[in-house]
């Protein structure tokens, strides 16, 4: 976080652009993970499945897959979220 020296008083905390971008990527990752869950991707077969244990750890696999997708460019959702966060920050700073 950066402190805006132009503000009077203690200063306004402003998130670093890299932090905003990382948060936007985290949001896209969470979104993709949920979408992968609804597609039943990686669902265990009825026979010879891993049982309850496999079901318990499936969310970790989906989260890792979603992170890899985002790291490779994703859907572009992170960039849209990042730009929205920047615009909101600019409006807040103009007050």
Considering only residues 55 and 10, tell me which one the structure prediction assigns the higher pLDDT. Answer: 55
Q: Helix or strand or coil: residue 95? A: coil
Digit-coded pLDDT (tens) for 45-86 = 666 666 777 777 888 989 999 999 999 999 999 999 999 989
Q: What is the mean pLDDT of residues 22-46?
A: 86
Count how many Cα atoms sit within 13 Å of the Cα of residue 74 in the half-sphere of its side chain.
Answer: 24
Task: Answer whether residue 4 shows pLDDT above 80.
Answer: no
The predicted pLDDT at position 91 comes to: 87
SS (H, E, C) 69-87: HHHCCCCCHHHHHHHHHHH
Query: Over 90: is that where the pLDDT of 44 sits?
Result: no
* Spatial distance between the Cα atoms of 62 and 48, rounded to a whole number of angstroms: 20
Write the CA distances from 45 to 11, 19, 62, 66, 78, integer angstroms.
57, 40, 16, 21, 33
Q: Is the pLDDT of residue 6 over 60?
A: no
């Amino acid at each position: 976080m950066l402190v805006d020296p132009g503000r009077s008083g203690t200063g306004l905390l402003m998130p670093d652009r890299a932090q905003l971008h990382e948060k936007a990527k985290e949001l896209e990752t969470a979104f993709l993970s949920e979408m992968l869950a609804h597609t039943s991707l990686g669902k265990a077969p009825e026979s010879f499945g891993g049982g309850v244990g496999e079901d318990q750890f499936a969310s970790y696999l989906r989260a890792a897959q979603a992170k890899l997708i985002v790291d490779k460019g994703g859907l572009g959702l992170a960039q849209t979220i990042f730009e929205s966060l920047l615009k909101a920050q600019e409006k807040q700073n103009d007050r």
